């Protein structure tokens, strides 16, 4: 199937983008094509080029592009004049989503959460989560972690580690302390011990926190995967100190790391969970903050927004839950593919002395330098593979293939990655290292 890749397209009129689109654009710079269509794991540019998508909208397209069942559900809904926008009014689409979410996700996992439909971006779900934690506890400080990424609006940005992103704020980003994530000081330092000690010490300077906000696998921060033991410790520390545990599952959730939630079977239950990215199943904007019912102390409209609950996304999200999550088949497939991915990445990394990071279908290779990683992803793109980097220096090449990818196609994409790394190591890098 690789012989059919034709990544030869070019942008017919790049000057349009240079003239009229803000300089803030980013992905479009490393993938300078104009895309027209996509289905499943494939994207097509308008010059006949075809690309295998190992980025999946940063894990927004876990079920692939335009999944036929989700697409049909949406087409039917629109054809029947279903409500497209209804503020936060009760709608049939919302009821169907809530019922399906309750039946297929919450009840089988013994979870009791209320769903708060926030504005449709992940960052808004995080804003709602930290606002609520501050309101309920009457405290200001949020503990977030080194290399955490939680979004780009001021509250969520304050919880984000990356200096370049933080620099865009233009105002002080306060009321957050960034504590060392699992493994930050290497394998010999237990950073949960450090946090516990600081919180127990009345003279450490660390105020009593409203919340501890954590990703179980750090998507943008370099695919650091916390151990279940560490996460359990953090959950225990939050409880002991009267702080709410918020798991930001925006990237790691919806099957990316195995279960629907990334923390399943780890022996703790977060107080608040944020979801977005793959929740709609089709790339439609849709975010959700889940909260324990006792925490639901909002006044009506206290966290508001015009696009709370995107009805089209309700429809596709419910269809995705019914199609993928009503039996264990999908999970078993994802598990198998995750193991396959781990094995292949392990082999590629071993060849060059690199390190594999991540969990489930959220894994990558730390190649040690952002420059090298960029050369590799550029070579991949030339060969028809869309793949991106993450980490503090963009040094981690991140495989976020759609979860529905055929094993053979996954293998073919990894062949491109393997070859590209070899090529770059043999040429540019060998020269640069001299």
Ligand X SMILES: *Cc1c(COP(=O)(O)O)cnc(C)c1O
Tokens of 183: 């493994």
Query: Closest distance between ligand X and the C-beta of residue 134, in Å?
Result: 18
Closest to 283 (Cα-Cα) out of 39, 19, 116, 14: 39
- Compare residues 356 and 400 and give the one whose CB is closer to ligand X: 400
Looking at 119, 151, 155, 255, which residue binds ligand X (CB under 6 A)? Answer: 151
CB of 151 closer than 8 Å to CB of 121: yes
CA 112 to chain centre: 23
In this chain, which stretch among 73-81, 243-251, 301-309, 379-387 interacts with ligand X, using CB under 6 A?
A: 243-251
Contact positions with ligand X (CB under 6 A) in 43-102: 58
Closest to 165 (Cα-Cα) out of 182, 178, 147: 147
Q: Site size for ligand X, by CB under 6 A?
A: 16
Per CB under 6 A, does 234 bind ligand X?
no
Looking at 91, 100, 118, 121, which residue binds ligand X (CB under 6 A)? Answer: 121
**CA distances, 181 to each of 143, 186, 346 (Å):** 11, 10, 23
- Compare residues 211 and 349 and give the one whose CB is closer to ligand X: 211
Query: Closest distance between ligand X and the C-beta of residue 126, in Å?
Result: 6
d(CA 156, CA 149): 8
Closest to 121 (Cα-Cα) out of 360, 306, 295, 272: 306
Contact positions with ligand X (CB under 6 A) in 292-351: none
Query: Closest distance between ligand X and the C-beta of residue 277, in Å?
Result: 6
Per CB under 6 A, does 248 bind ligand X?
yes
Looking at 251, 257, 310, 377, which residue binds ligand X (CB under 6 A)? Answer: 251
Please report, to the nearest 10 degrees, the dihedral formed by the alpha carbons of residues 372, 373, 378, 379 taken in order: 70
* End-to-end CA, the chain: 37
In this chain, which stretch among 109-117, 129-137, 244-252, 384-392 interacts with ligand X, using CB under 6 A?
A: 244-252
Query: Closest distance between ligand X and the C-beta of residue 203, in Å?
Result: 33
In this chain, which stretch among 194-202, 212-220, 320-328, 333-341 interacts with ligand X, using CB under 6 A?
A: 212-220
Other Cβ atoms closer than 10 A to 327 = 10
Please report, to the nearest 10 degrees, the dihedral formed by the alpha carbons of residues 266, 269, 275, 279 taken in order: 70
Query: Closest distance between ligand X and the C-beta of residue 249, in Å?
Result: 8
Per CB under 6 A, does 279 bind ligand X?
no
In this chain, which stretch among 18-26, 80-88, 144-152, 305-313 interacts with ligand X, using CB under 6 A?
A: 144-152
Instruction: List all residues 6 or more positions away from 360 whose beta carbon is below 8 Å from its beta carbon.
Output: 217, 256, 257, 258, 334, 335, 338
Per CB under 6 A, does 250 bind ligand X?
yes
- Compare residues 248 and 395 and give the one whose CB is closer to ligand X: 248
Residue nearest to ligand X according to CB distances in the complex: 122
Query: Closest distance between ligand X and the C-beta of residue 250, in Å?
Result: 4
Instruction: List all residues 6 or more positions away from 303 whose beta carbon is below 8 Å from its beta carbon.
Output: 116, 118, 127, 128, 131, 132
In this chain, which stretch among 18-26, 43-51, 148-156, 327-335 interacts with ligand X, using CB under 6 A?
A: 148-156
Report the chain's C-alpha Rg in angstroms: 22
- Compare residues 121 and 420 and give the one whose CB is closer to ligand X: 121
Tell me the sheet residues that pair with 117. 288
* Residue ranges in contact with ligand X by CB under 6 A: 58, 121-123, 126, 149-151, 215, 219-220, 248, 250-251, 276-277
């Amino acid at each position: 199937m690789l012989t059919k890749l034709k990544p030869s397209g070019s942008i017919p009129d790049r000057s349009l983008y240079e003239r009229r689109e803000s300089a803030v654009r980013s992905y479009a710079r490393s993938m300078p094509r104009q895309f027209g269509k996509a289905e499943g794991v494939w994207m097509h540019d308008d010059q006949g080029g075809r690309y295998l998508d190992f980025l999946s909208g940063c894990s927004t397209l876990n079920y692939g592009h335009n999944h036929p069942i989700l697409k049909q559900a949406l087409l039917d809904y629109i054809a029947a004049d279903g409500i497209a926008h209804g503020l936060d009014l009760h709608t049939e689409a919302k009821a169907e989503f809530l019922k399906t979410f309750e039946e297929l996700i919450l009840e089988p996992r013994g979870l009791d959460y209320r769903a708060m439909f926030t504005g449709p971006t992940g960052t808004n779900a995080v804003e709602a989560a930290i606002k609520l934690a501050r309101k309920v506890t009457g405290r200001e400080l949020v503990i977030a972690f080194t290399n955490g990424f939680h979004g780009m609006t001021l509250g969520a940005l304050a919880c984000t580690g990356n200096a370049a992103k933080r620099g865009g704020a233009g105002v002080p980003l306060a009321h957050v302390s960034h504590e060392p994530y699992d493994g930050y000081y290497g394998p010999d330092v237990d950073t949960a011990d450090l946090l516990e000690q600081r919180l127990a010490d009345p003279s450490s300077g660390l105020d009593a926190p409203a919340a501890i906000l954590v990703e179980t696998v750090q998507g943008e921060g370099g695919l650091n995967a916390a151990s279940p033991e560490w996460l359990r410790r953090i959950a225990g520390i939050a409880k002991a100190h009267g702080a709410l545990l918020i798991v930001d599952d925006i990237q790691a959730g919806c099957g990316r790391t195995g279960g629907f939630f990334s923390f399943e079977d780890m022996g703790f239950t977060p107080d608040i969970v944020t979801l977005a990215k793959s929740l709609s199943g089709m790339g439609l904007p849709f975010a959700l903050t889940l909260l324990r019912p006792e925490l639901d102390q909002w006044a009506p409209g206290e966290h508001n927004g015009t696009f709370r609950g995107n009805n089209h996304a309700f429809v596709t999200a419910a269809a995705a839950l019914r199609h993928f999550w009503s039996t264990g088949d999908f999970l078993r497939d994802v598990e198998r593919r995750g193991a396959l991915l781990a094995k292949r990445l392990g082999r590629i990394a071993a060849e060059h002395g690199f390190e594999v990071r991540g969990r489930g279908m959220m894994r990558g290779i730390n190649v040690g330098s952002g420059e090298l990683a960029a050369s590799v992803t550029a070579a991949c793109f030339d060969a028809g593979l869309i793949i991106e980097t993450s980490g503090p220096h963009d040094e981690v090449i991140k495989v976020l293939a759609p979860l529905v990818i055929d094993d053979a196609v996954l293998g073919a994409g990894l062949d491109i990655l393997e070859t590209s790394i070899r090529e770059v190591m043999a040429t540019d890098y060998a020269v640069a290292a001299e």
